[in-house]
């Protein structure tokens, strides 16, 4: 005999109607599940078999074929335990099949027949109401979550035997009513109040502007200055969620499995604070079966990114997550609150007096010390002395903190480096091992005065590099010794060609799209005129210096 029971599956934050077709026929006893089931559904064969026996029902010792439709949609999770159990009972004529076409069944079954809550009930209930389903049959612990959907009868039960009695005697039972006294489920908002903050006028004002306009906000400052304290108080000054917004937030948290045994709607605005080492999939969502990440979980709330290096502000209202088995669409609408701070990495090597290589997790990166310039290695003996001193300050394997400022045209990160609260950039200048690179001093707003003062002191004491009669600045040395290599430089360009006159040593067409040094093979060529591509960043007349 054939029986069909309706259930549903989650795709992203939306629900898709799934038919559970059960056929009990002659043949060798066994259960076959079709329709792209995952491991949890495959395991339901033994789980349902034991459950039916333990609850007093006869398990048919015949060939049972279970087909989940549509066949091309992957199904996952234990929520199909209940519809499979009901389908087997209906196909073996142990329960009435009259109501199976009007109701949608969800729930995980235990071996003793009790029903356990499942995730994603709210979006399934909303979809069932739009599909014209008369009612929803599910575990009692999920009932209050589903009953917020108007126009849908919700029946919550604790045991499989109660579901069977409902199907055989539907007149005995009434739908669950919304309990206004149930405790509202809460997200991870800590309830911190901005009223507790004394002072911090600029930070408070920034929070108020961000809350009023839904703007992104970044706090920059040394540890202990109150960045995190202020950030955690932003949800407290945001307006309360409307009913429609609360439904959206609850749908997402329901899909993520954060509402089990927690009541109905989320009323507080979410505050999500992922760890600074969180992976990309954990932020945007992902997995073989895509699930919401921290970005979507902060929908209509606040996403706080602590200790980021370069802020990436979210501007899209939706994010699409593609995975190995499917793709899903998640909602994104929230201000992004970020705190920028140093990140820790291990020193791998020292190149010269102002360049090191460091290990950031699984990746290596070249770091140029910000706002200073050390003597070139050819400026004997000063270049070697600067490199040796930097090796002493930053020995291989030494953990250091890097305050990233920008990325230069060679793809190197520019940063201030700290070891045990010592600013290594400043130490190099104090000891006369490096000079202040005034052209880029804007990258070090908090230490620029200290750098200038340290340089003046080292110069007056003739320390290191300054202990010579006529010191040649590193940038002047590079300009004087930078000549195009014959093998790497093109021949002089004809005046009649359509080449930009700013670059007499090579031909770049006038009006060409903007390019950088990484996109051309030439180095140390002359730059005259307005330099439309910005090859000569330090203004010494030499482009793309090595």
For residue range 444-469, list pLDDT tens digits in order: 988 999 999 999 999 999 999 999 98
Res 375: pLDDT: 93
Q: Give the distance between the most distant pair of CA atoms in the chain.
A: 104
Cα(217)–Cα(336) distance, rounded to whole angstroms? 6
What is the sign of the dihedral through the CA atoms of 140, 144, 145 and 151?
Answer: positive
Res 340: pLDDT: 58
Cα(360)–Cα(309) distance, rounded to whole angstroms? 12
Candidates 82, 91, 87, 150; CA nearest to 116 is 82
Q: 318-322 and 327-331: which strand pairing?
A: antiparallel
In terms of Cβ atoms closer than 10 Å to its own Cβ (0-12, 13-18, 19+), residue 71 is: exposed
The topology under which CATH files domain 194-338 is Rossmann fold (3.40.50)
Q: Count helices and strands (H / E) in the chain.
A: 14, 25
The alpha carbon of residue 199 and the mean position of all alpha carbons in its chain are separated, in whole angstroms, by 33
Who has greater pLDDT, 439 or 135? Answer: 135
Res 338: pLDDT: 57
Give the model's confidence band at 30: pLDDT under 50 very low, under 70 low, under 90 confident, else very high: very high
Q: 153-157 and 135-139: which strand pairing?
A: parallel
Res 234: pLDDT: 87
Give the model's confidence band at 333: pLDDT under 50 very low, under 70 low, under 90 confident, else very high: low
Catalytic residues: 368, 376, 412
Question: What percent helix, strand, coil does the chain show, rounded to 5?
Answer: 30, 25, 45
Q: Is CATH 2.102.10.10 correct for 2-172?
A: no
Share of the chain above pLDDT 90, in %: 43
Cα(43)–Cα(319) distance, rounded to whole angstroms? 33
Place of tokens 């091309």: 72
Instruction: Locate all alpha helices (DSSP H) within 147-242, ordered by sequence.
Output: 160-168, 201-213, 227-231
Res 282: pLDDT: 81
Name the residue ranges covered by the structural domains of the chain: 2-172, 194-338, 343-471, 482-546
Cα(217)–Cα(328) distance, rounded to whole angstroms? 28
Q: 103-105 and 271-272: which strand pairing?
A: unpaired
In terms of Cβ atoms closer than 10 Å to its own Cβ (0-12, 13-18, 19+), residue 46 is: exposed
Cα(287)–Cα(132) distance, rounded to whole angstroms? 32
Tokens of 490: 């093109």
Q: How far is CA 170 from CA 88, 95, 138, 167, 206, in A?
A: 19, 12, 15, 6, 58
Cα(320)–Cα(428) distance, rounded to whole angstroms? 47
Which tens digits make up the pLDDT trace of 156-193? 999 999 999 999 999 999 999 877 554 444 444 457 88
In terms of Cβ atoms closer than 10 Å to its own Cβ (0-12, 13-18, 19+), residue 334 is: buried
Candidates 403, 265, 251, 223; CA nearest to 331 is 251
CB atoms within 10 A of CB 396: 12
Mean pLDDT of 268-279: 82
Who has greater pLDDT, 290 or 299? Answer: 299
Q: Which residues contact 349 (CB under 8 A, 6 or more apart)?
A: 356, 357, 396
Tokens of 438: 């005034």
Cα(166)–Cα(159) distance, rounded to whole angstroms? 11
Q: Which of left, alpha, beta for 395 (phi over 0: left; psi -120 to 50: alpha)?
A: beta
Candidates 199, 256, 253; CA nearest to 229 is 199
Q: Is the pLDDT of residue 238 over 60?
A: yes
Candidates 24, 2, 22, 123; CA nearest to 69 is 22
Q: What is the DSSP letter of 464?
A: G
What's the residue count for the chain?
A: 546
Candidates 283, 304, 293; CA nearest to 234 is 304
Which tens digits make up the pLDDT trace of 368-420? 999 999 999 989 899 999 999 999 999 999 999 998 888 887 788 899 999 98
Mean pLDDT of 250-276: 76
- The H or E element that residue 357 is part of is strand 355-360
Cα(277)–Cα(280) distance, rounded to whole angstroms? 9
Q: Do domains 2-172 and 194-338 have the same CATH topology?
A: no
Q: Is the pLDDT of residue 116 over 90?
A: yes
Cα(375)–Cα(392) distance, rounded to whole angstroms? 17
445-449 LR contacts (CB < 8 Å, sep 24+): 446/222, 447/371, 447/416, 447/423, 448/371
The alpha carbon of residue 304 and the mean position of all alpha carbons in its chain are separated, in whole angstroms, by 11
In terms of Cβ atoms closer than 10 Å to its own Cβ (0-12, 13-18, 19+), residue 21 is: middle
Q: How far is CA 357 from CA 139, 190, 367, 394, 424, in A?
A: 57, 40, 6, 10, 15
This prediction has a pTM of 0.56
φ, ψ of residue 365 to 5 degrees: the values are -150, 145
CB 493 within 8 A of CB 510: no
What is the C-alpha R_g of the chain?
Answer: 33
Cis peptide preceding 218, ω within 30 of 0: no
Q: Which CATH architecture has domain 343-471?
A: Beta Barrel (2.40)
Beta bridge partners of 63: 25, 30
């Amino acid at each position: 005999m054939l029986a069909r029971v309706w259930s549903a599956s989650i795709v992203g934050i939306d629900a898709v109607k799934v038919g559970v077709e059960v056929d009990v026929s002659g043949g060798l006893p066994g259960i076959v599940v079709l329709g792209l089931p995952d491991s949890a559904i495959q395991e339901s064969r033994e789980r349902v078999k034991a459950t039916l026996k333990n609850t007093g029902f006869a398990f048919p010792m015949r060939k049972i074929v279970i087909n989940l439709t549509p066949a091309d949609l992957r199904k996952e999770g234990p929520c199909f335990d209940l519809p499979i159990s009901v389908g087997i009972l209906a196909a073996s004529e142990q329960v009435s099949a009259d109501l199976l076409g009007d109701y949608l069944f969800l729930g995980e079954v235990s071996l003793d027949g009790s029903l356990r809550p499942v995730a994603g009930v709210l979006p399934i209930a909303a979809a069932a109401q739009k599909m014209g389903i008369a009612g929803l049959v599910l575990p009692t612990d999920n009932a209050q979550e589903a009953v917020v959907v108007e126009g849908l009868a919700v029946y919550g039960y604790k045991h499989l035997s109660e579901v069977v009695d409902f199907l055989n005697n539907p007149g005995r039972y009434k739908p669950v009513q919304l309990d206004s006294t149930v405790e509202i489920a809460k997200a991870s908002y800590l309830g911190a109040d901005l009223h507790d903050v004394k002072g911090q006028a600029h930070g408070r004002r920034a929070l108020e502007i961000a809350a009023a306009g839904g703007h992104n906000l970044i706090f920059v400052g040394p540890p202990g200055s109150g960045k995190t304290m202020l950030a955690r108080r932003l949800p407290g000054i945001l307006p309360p969620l409307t009913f429609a917004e609360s439904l959206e937030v609850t749908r997402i948290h329901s899909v993520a499995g954060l509402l089990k045994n927690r009541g109905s709607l989320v009323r507080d605005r979410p505050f999500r604070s992922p760890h600074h080492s969180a992976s990309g999939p954990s932020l945007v969502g992902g997995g073989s079966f895509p699930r919401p990440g921290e970005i979507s979980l902060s929908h209509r709330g606040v996403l706080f990114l602590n200790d980021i290096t370069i802020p990436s502000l979210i501007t899209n209202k939706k994010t699409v997550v593609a995975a190995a088995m499917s793709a899903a669409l998640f909602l994104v609408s929230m201000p992004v609150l970020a705190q920028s701070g140093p990140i820790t990495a291990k020193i791998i090597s020292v190149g010269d007096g102002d360049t090191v290589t460091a290990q950031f997790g699984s990746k290596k990166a070249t770091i140029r010390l910000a706002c200073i310039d050390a003597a070139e290695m050819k400026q004997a003996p000063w270049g070697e002395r600067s490199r040796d001193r930097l090796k002493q300050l930053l020995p291989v394997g030494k953990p250091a903190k890097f305050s990233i400022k920008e990325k230069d045209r060679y793809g190197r990160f520019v940063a201030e480096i700290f070891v045990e609260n010592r600013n290594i950039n400043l130490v190099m200048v104090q000891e006369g091992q490096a000079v202040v690179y005034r052209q880029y001093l804007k990258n070090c707003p908090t230490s620029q005065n200290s750098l200038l003062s340290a340089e003046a002191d080292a110069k007056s004491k003739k320390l290191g590099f300054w202990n010579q009669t006529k010191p040649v600045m590193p940038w002047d040395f590079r300009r004087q010794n930078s000549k195009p290599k014959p093998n790497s430089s093109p021949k002089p360009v004809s005046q009649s060609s359509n080449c930009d006159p700013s670059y007499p040593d090579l031909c770049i067409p006038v009006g060409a799209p903007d390019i950088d040094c990484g996109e051309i093979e030439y180095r140390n060529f002359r730059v005259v005129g307005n330099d439309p591509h910005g090859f000569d960043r330090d203004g010494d007349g030499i482009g793309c210096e090595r």
